[in-house]
């Protein structure tokens, strides 16, 4: 009978180069996401919903312009017109993002540019823009925006 004992071996690299395909580790408990709109956004009644969860999957408190919110905060353009929305957390997170919904029930045409920004410790970490073109056949769109992946279309 032959028994083989082997220890797992891990090779790592300590090179100082950074590839855009790699995500740098961020050691910050203070993260802010801000989204702003330009163009015809008022025609399409934007709704933004921020979500924040800690490393154990429990909801996190967010600081918003409307006060402290826990786990989820939704702001609707129809309730209170706005061009910018933001939320900030002060803890490590497993999930912190914003979902952005535009509706076009009247099938009108227009363009909206969404700008998303992420700040760690009040320093800009990433800034992304997403252009949305509405035509008569587009009934609505949903995008998510997160610190790690930027904009992702959920429905376009």
For the stretch 105-117, pLDDT in tens is 989 999 999 999 9
Q: What region, left, alpha or beta, does residue 120 occupy, with left being phi > 0 and alpha being psi -120 to 50 degrees?
A: beta
Which of 126 and 12 is assigned the larger pLDDT? Answer: 126
Q: Is residue 10 part of a domain?
A: no
Q: Is residue 15 part of a domain?
A: no
Q: Is residue 147 part of a domain?
A: yes
Burial of 13 (0-12, 13-18, 19+ CB in 10 A): exposed
Domain count, the chain: 1
Q: What is the pLDDT of residue 122?
A: 94
Dihedral sign, Cα of residue 8, residue 14, residue 19, residue 20: positive
Q: Is residue 52 part of a domain?
A: yes
CATH of the domain at 102: 2.60.60.60
Would you tell me how many other CB atoms lie within 10 Å of the CB of residue 122? 9
Closest residue by Cα to residue 144 from 136, 126, 156: 156
Range of the domain at 39: 30-155
Q: What is the pLDDT of residue 67?
A: 95
What is the pLDDT averaged over residues 87-99?
95
């Amino acid at each position: 009978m032959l028994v083989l004992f082997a220890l797992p071996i891990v090779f790592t690299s300590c090179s100082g180069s950074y590839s855009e395909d790699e995500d740098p580790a961020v050691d910050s408990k203070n993260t802010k996401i801000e989204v702003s709109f330009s163009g015809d956004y008022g025609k399409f009644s934007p709704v933004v919903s921020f979500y924040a969860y800690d490393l154990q999957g429990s909801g996190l408190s967010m600081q918003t312009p409307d006060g402290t919110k826990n786990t989820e905060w939704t702001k609707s353009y129809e309730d209170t017109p706005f061009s910018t929305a933001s939320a900030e957390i002060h803890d490590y997170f497993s999930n912190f993002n914003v979902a952005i919904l535009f509706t076009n029930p009247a099938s009108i045409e227009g363009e909206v540019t969404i700008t998303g920004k992420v700040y760690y410790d009040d320093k800009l970490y990433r800034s992304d823009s997403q252009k949305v073109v509405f035509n008569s056949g587009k009934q609505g769109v949903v995008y998510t925006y997160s610190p790690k992946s930027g904009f992702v279309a959920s429905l376009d």
